[in-house]
Chain A
């Protein structure tokens, strides 16, 4: 199945859209067609065999033209069409904004004279008997054009036997307008009943205008709430320099396929994901790592689309294109997250679901009570107060409270490399009490390095390292790798050994220049009859510090000690400190020996360490903590510890930003930026606080506003709410909520923005 988006020329009205739609659906193989009069485009879903020509003909046959077309298959959905779709939505929103602004200006121009004219003493030069007719003429466009959208929506809802927010606005303003019109054209209808006949054209004109202004401001603020996706989409390169027929040519990004060889020159963006095949350079990978320090790339290294080449030129082979790229996945994840609903919203839903009918009941009650028991003119008091109730009660703010905060919060996270899966995760992350780090690759670098070289007397450090590295050169053990790497770093020449034997779990033996050398733990030394003597105490001290100690001996005489340890990341200590300051219990789970794990625990000032935990038991550890009533977040690489991440209340995957991690984890931290762990918590708490503020404001406003509008304060204080003030308050409450959510963009987090 494919989808075509056709830009249509010659459309000028809504009925054109209907005509085009009908014509398109008649084409064989068309599953569905939608025509948007605002963007002047048709989106057609078709079977694979339908040609562009047949669709074009269907459109030209009814008198329109096809300006441009974009095709997408349901399986691809490349980033580029997504960008276009976004741009079109932007365009629609922009026009909507223009339309609202135009309506507001016209409304204001009409409202000002209506407002002044409502006080005849202000316009003594006008003939009083003509004034009502003048006000009527000015108010008609304000009520039916400026406020037309509310009337239309309310009408549709009424026909569907529903009542919405628009119902309240329409009912309130129409009541004021209709009453005034009857007073204008048939005043006797009221006076004969002994009822006062006043005009309320100002209520109709001003309320419609103010609410349109509110919608305008709200729409503007809302578009700012969703800038994160736009920022991400802009990262995508538009063209790629692809090898075609032996030459590199610039092609649009959509034309790149897997296996293409692509050249990237200094300063250019990497267009898609792939693997370097030629040349070398350093890349700014802040998109995936959160660190702006460029990373060296050479043959065989993988590169990620949308990262920036700083200097040097290279060629890479495309491995992932279109919707398979990391950037596309990130955008998709953020977009889906922004559309999810937080559990906290169910409360708001329950209220707003019954809200409109209840408010209509209160308005009716207000009217009846005032009319029957109110002071004179009772009928008018009842009418105006009922209108004020209808207008102030609009629950727009309630509807905006949660989604705007979620949108801004998740968007802010995305710009920092924190990808939050959904609103529910955001809510749970704000409530966690305990955070567990899976040691390897999170708190520590994940690869051991040589930390100490202790030569026996008469041996130099260099000699010790050279021999140890020569022995280990052909070993595949990670500890061996650390020793060899250290020797290479010091540019030592290694010597070749013979009769190499690995003793599993103990060490190695080999011959070098005729002598038999032994490198390994104390058990191996005992087995070989080596008398470690004075080095034993130093060996014990190093082991207590959590290091792995290896002895080197020539035959039976010791040459020295080599200590190896997995080092903690430089920022780990500060991150743990931040988390503890946030009131969290910070634990580490590790497969290491107790001694090693505890040494790291002390170094980092952790709340506790769970050592000698086999990988498959990590989920069990999480479950136990949960059974103690703790809300647990688990931080890991998302691959080896997926079950533990899934078991935790919030799984935080950090590292590669691989698909596996993004699928299982609630929160994915792109790259290895450890600072984003406390940042995720800060952001979640901030967002939840923001939602609560919004909900409180929205409820509080209605709880307070409705009784005041109904006039409960009148008997005691003589206080009534003019419907015009009510409409201003209503518009303000929605705008307040949106602006409050926008504050999340500036929430204080550690480390800078990456986008």
Chain B
């Protein structure tokens, strides 16, 4: 039901070391659930999971082969480098909770 999502796109914080970093809170959904990043630059997303229900136990980014377990009440960081411009969806293990990474030039 992410269809009704009205949250704006969040920009990443560019670190001096060149990485694009952002923390996403996981609680029933992803907050923020839209992230804008630049193509070709390392992205480091930290998922701060503040719940224990089964649904959000994994975060999946099919396009980058990521399927990461998120232990409850802890932060887990994933890294990838976007290879092409476009929209990359990410979702929970069962595809019920959604987010988007918008890769720009």
Contacts and interface: CB of A to CB of B under 8 A. Distances in A.
Interface of A: 17, 32-38, 43, 89, 92, 96, 149-150, 152-166, 339-341, 346, 348-350, 352-353, 355-357, 395-396, 398-399, 403
30 contacts: A32-B46, A32-B77, A33-B75, A34-B73, A35-B73, A43-B74, A89-B71, A149-B52, A153-B28, A156-B51, A156-B53, A157-B29, A158-B28, A159-B27, A161-B1, A161-B4, A162-B28, A162-B29, A162-B97, A164-B28, A165-B96, A166-B53, A166-B54, A339-B69, A340-B65, A341-B67, A346-B62, A353-B91, A355-B96, A399-B94
A395 B2 contact: no
B60 A164 contact: no
Given A165-B94, A349-B94, A352-B96, A396 B29 contact: no
A403 B69 CA distance: 12
> What's the dominant secondary structure at chain A's contact region?
helix
Interface in B28-74: 28-31, 33, 46, 48, 51-55, 60, 62, 65, 67-69, 71-74
B28 A156 contact: yes
A36 B55 contact: no
B95 A352 contact: yes
Contacts of A34: 48, 73-75
A403 B93 contact: yes
Contact of A37 (B29, B33, B73, B95): B73
B56 to A, nearest CB: 8
B31 A160 contact: yes
B5 A152 contact: no
B28 A155 contact: yes
Given A162-B96, A341-B67, A357-B1, 4 more contacts: A33-B75, A156-B53, A159-B27, A159-B28
Nearest to A14: B73
A37 B23 CA distance: 20
Given A36-B73, A162-B2, A157 B97 contact: yes
Contacts of A355: 96
- Top 9 nearest A-B pairs (CB, nearest first) are A160-B29, A156-B28, A153-B53, A353-B95, A157-B28, A164-B55, A160-B28, A34-B75, A349-B95
Contact of B2 (A38, A154, A161, A398): A161
Nearest to B30: A160
Contacts of A38: 72-73
Contacts of B94: 164-165, 348-349, 352-353, 395, 398-399
Contacts of B72: 36, 38, 92
Contacts of A352: 94-96
Contacts of A156: 27-29, 51, 53
A655 B69 CA distance: 32
B2 to A, nearest CB: 6
Nearest to B1: A163
Contacts of A163: 1, 96
B8 to A, nearest CB: 14
Interface string B66-105: 0111011111010000000000000111111110000000
B29 to A, nearest CB: 2
Contacts of A164: 28, 53, 55, 92, 94, 96-97
A567 B60 CA distance: 49
Contacts of B69: 339
A348 B60 CA distance: 14
B60 A162 contact: no
A96 B65 CA distance: 30
A35 B48 CA distance: 11
B98 to A, nearest CB: 7
A406 B59 CA distance: 17
A308 B100 CA distance: 50
A17 to B, nearest CB: 7
A168 B102 CA distance: 31
Contacts of B30: 160
A162 B53 CA distance: 14
A32 B21 CA distance: 12
A419 to B, nearest CB: 18
Contacts of B1: 161-163, 356-357
Contacts of A159: 27-29
A162 B2 CA distance: 6
A1 to B, nearest CB: 10
A97 to B, nearest CB: 13
A37 B65 CA distance: 31
A264 B72 CA distance: 41
A651 B67 CA distance: 23
A273 to B, nearest CB: 28
Contacts of B95: 349-350, 352-353
Contacts of A166: 53-55
Given A156-B27, A353-B94, A339 B67 contact: yes
A211 to B, nearest CB: 11
A632 B29 CA distance: 42
A43 B4 CA distance: 35
Chain A CB within 10 A, most for which of B23, B33, B55, B97: B55
A165 B55 contact: yes
Nearest to A153: B53
A17 B96 contact: no
Nearest to B50: A156
Contacts of A35: 73
A153 B97 contact: no
A737 B51 CA distance: 25
Nearest to B92: A164
A101 B94 CA distance: 26
A156 B49 CA distance: 12
A156 to B, nearest CB: 3
A377 B36 CA distance: 54
B9 to A, nearest CB: 16
Nearest to A336: B67
Chain A CB within 10 A, most for which of B77, B92, B98: B92
A641 B94 CA distance: 39
A494 B27 CA distance: 79
Contacts of B67: 339-341
